[in-house]
Amino acid sequence: MTAQGAIPTLAIRSRGRGRGLFRGLRSVESVIGLIIVAVIFALGLLAPIIAPYSPYAQGSGSFLPPSPDHWFGTDEFGRDLFSRVLYGIRQDVIVGAVAVPIGAILGMLLGLASTLAWWLDTVIQRGFDVSLAFTSLVMGVTVAAIIGPGLPAVLITVAFVNIPLFGRLTRNALRSQQARDYVTAGRVVGVPPIRLLLRHVLPNSIDALVVQAALSLSLAVFIEGAMSFVGIGVKLPEPSLGSLLRTSINFLAQAPTYAIPPMLVVTALVLAFNLVGDGLNKGLLKR
Amino acid sequence: MIRYLLRRIPAALLVLFVASVAVFFLLRLAPGDPAATLAGPDASNETVEAIRQQLGLDRPLVIQYLLWLGGILTGNPGESYLLHSPISELISNSLLNTLELASGALILAVVGGGIVGYIMGSSRTSWISSALGLLTSLAVAVPTYVSGVLFILIFAVVNRLLPSGGIGPGLADPAIGLQYLLMPAIVLSLPTGATLARFLSASIRQTIDEDFVQTGIAKGLRRSRLMRAHVIPNALPPVITVLGIQIGQLLGGAIIVETIFAWPGIGQLLLQSVIGRDYLLTQGLLMLAVVVFVMVQIVTDVVDAAMDPRIRLERK
Residue A3's pLDDT band (cuts 50, 70, 90): very low
Give me the pLDDT at residue B313, please: 66
User: Does the distance separating the beta carbons of A245 and B141 come in below 8 Å?
Assistant: no
Model ipTM value: 0.85
Report the percentage of chain A scoring pLDDT > 70: 90
| DSSP, residue by residue, A112-176 | HHTTT-HHHHHHHHHHHHHHHHS-HHHHHHHHHHHH-SSHHHHHHHHHHHHHHHHHHHHHHHHHH
Q: Which residue of A has its CA nearest to B154?
A: A256
Whether the predicted pLDDT of B71 surpasses 50? yes
B255 CB within 8 Å of a chain A CB: yes
Give me the pLDDT at residue B68, please: 83
What's the whole-number mean pLDDT along residues B300-304? 78
User: pLDDT of B136-191, one tens digit each?
Assistant: 988 888 999 999 999 998 888 888 888 877 777 766 777 788 888 889 999 999 99
User: pLDDT of A158-214, one tens digit each?
Assistant: 999 999 999 999 888 888 887 788 888 888 888 887 787 777 787 777 888 888 999
Domains defined for chain A, CATH in brackets: 35-285 (1.10.3720.10)
Q: What is the mean pLDDT of chain A?
A: 83
User: pLDDT of B120-140, one tens digit each?
Assistant: 988 877 888 888 988 998 888
What is the DSSP code (8-state) at residue B172? G
Give me the pLDDT at residue B310, please: 67
Substitution target from A130, A146, A234, A276 for chain B, most B beta carbons within 10 A: A146
B227-246 burial, b at 16+ Cβ within 10 Å, e below that, comes to beebbbebbbebbebbbbbb
Residue A116's pLDDT band (cuts 50, 70, 90): confident
Give me the pLDDT at residue A10, please: 41
User: pLDDT of B183-216, one tens digit each?
Assistant: 999 999 999 999 999 999 999 988 888 888 888 8
CB-closest option in A147, A226, A263 to B256: A226
Whether the predicted pLDDT of A2 surpasses 60? no
3-state secondary structure of B166: coil
Within 10 angstroms of residue B223's Cβ, the number of other Cβ atoms is 12
B242 CB within 8 Å of a chain A CB: no
User: Which chain B residues have a beta carbon less than 8 Å from that of A133?
Assistant: 245, 248, 293, 297
Substitution target from B136, B145, B285 for chain A, most A beta carbons within 10 A: B145
What ranges in chain B are assigned the alpha helix state H? 2-28, 34-39, 45-55, 61-73, 87-122, 126-141, 144-152, 174-208, 211-218, 223-226, 232-260, 266-275, 279-307, 309-313
Whether the predicted pLDDT of A251 surpasses 70? yes
> How distant is the Cα of B117 from the closest Cα of chain A, in angstroms?
21
Task: Find out whether A201 and A13 touch, Cβ atoms under 8 Å.
Answer: no
* Distances in whole angstroms, Cα of residue A158 to Cα of each of A150, A272, B149, B192: 13, 18, 24, 22
CB-closest option in B150, B153, B256 to A230: B256
Whether the predicted pLDDT of A39 surpasses 70? yes
> How distant is the Cα of A253 from the closest Cα of chain B, in angstroms?
6
Whether the predicted pLDDT of A12 surpasses 50? no
What is the DSSP code (8-state) at residue B269? H
Whether the predicted pLDDT of A63 surpasses 90? no
Task: Find out whether A239 and A87 touch, Cβ atoms under 8 Å.
Answer: yes
Strand B85-86 with B79-80, pairing: antiparallel
Q: Which residue of B has its CA nearest to A257?
A: B153
Give me the pLDDT at residue A66, please: 79
Strand partners, A211: none
Most confident segment among A6-15, B257-266, B298-307: B257-266
